Amino acid sequence: MRYRQYLKLEKSLSDNTVEAYLADLDKLLSYLLDENISFRKATPDDLETFSAGLKDIGIHPRSQARILSGIRSFYRFLLLEDYIRQDPAELLESPQVGKHLPDVLTVEEIDSLIGAIDRTSREGQRNRAILETLYSCGLRVSELCNLKISDLYLDENFIKVEGKGSKQRLVPISPRAVNELKNYFPDRNAGLIKPGYEDFVFISRFGKNISRIMVFHIIKQLAEQIGLKKTISPHTFRHSFATHLLEGGANLRAIQSMLGHESIGTTEIYTHIDRNRLREEIIEHHPRNNRKRHAF
């Protein structure tokens, strides 16, 4: 199918994302087939009716937005390939999806989590390096699990990361994370490493690269250990990385580049987090909001 090739080669999407796009497209094609409408002759009204139907059957707005995004992509492809002369999906609007403000860790909370790791345990130094690298570089957990030694440029304080769609980016790494990695390497090299996994940075006790589930488990255990009440995951470290950069005055475009976001709109969620915190600070500290000042 040429559209599948377009998604893989032209859009550089992963296999999982391609399959998700095609599964969503099947929903539209089934609808059009039931209505005896050719996908080439579908009108904006036809697509709007389909879109309204998604809402009527109770599909979550975020899922609706994903499905409609795939449909717009499909019709752009048809237009580019001259299968159609006009794009009926051009003005197809997605539902408004509320901004979810994720929990963010303070620097002190991150230090407490890392400090709670037992250095004398078999994986202690590895786990310290994992958490420090997650926070220092703002990595997705999949990027951390697939990080290679050949992509580390520790003397230059950079690492090369392969993100979504196999897109690569250079990310600065802090001296503290570099130090934790260097302290971990002797333990790593002395342990079991199975053939084919020699280049992975973070190795499990079974000799393969560490899994996403294991990283999640490590963080959950540490959160329980220090009594942290926030709902956190590996992604929380990425959110915290971006929020702390923004609070420190970093440019939003620079944060976008370091996170590997294709769209600046994805990065802008952190401005909402920052404004939320700013509002709390104003309410707490502004003299007009200080109740003690007016208590008399």
The DSSP string of 159-199 is EEEE-GGG-EEEEE--HHHHHHHHHHHHHHHHS---TT-TT
> Known catalytic residue: 294?
no
CATH 1.10.150.130 range(s) for the chain read 2-80
Domain 2-80 has CATH 1.10.3720.10: no
Q: How far apart are CA 263 and CA 222, in angstroms?
A: 33
Per-residue model confidence (pLDDT) at position 288: 44
> Known catalytic residue: 244?
no
> Known catalytic residue: 235?
yes
Q: How far apart are CA 127 and CA 218, in angstroms?
A: 8
Q: How far apart are CA 202 and CA 190, in angstroms?
A: 13
Q: Determine which one of 169, 188, 261, 277 is catalytic.
A: 261
> Known catalytic residue: 40?
no
Q: Determine which one of 128, 238, 239, 244 is catalytic.
A: 238
Note whether 180 and 128 are within 8 A (CB).
yes
Q: Determine which one of 126, 128, 140, 239 is catalytic.
A: 140
pTM over 0.85: no
Taking phi over 0 as left and psi of -120 to 50 as alpha, with beta for the rest, 30 belongs to alpha
Per-residue model confidence (pLDDT) at position 20: 86
User: Chunked in runs of 10, what are the mean pLDDT values of the chain (296 residues)?
Assistant: 82 84 90 91 89 78 85 91 89 67 84 93 94 90 92 91 80 92 94 95 94 90 93 86 77 72 57 51 48 42
CATH 1.10.443.10 range(s) for the chain read 107-281
Q: Determine which one of 27, 164, 220, 277 is catalytic.
A: 164
Positions of E strands within the chain: 152-153, 158-162, 168-172
> Known catalytic residue: 217?
no
Look up the CATH architecture of domain 107-281. Answer: Orthogonal Bundle (1.10)
Q: What are phi and psi of 172, to 5 degrees?
A: -65, 150
Note whether 203 and 197 are within 8 A (CB).
yes
Per-residue model confidence (pLDDT) at position 293: 42
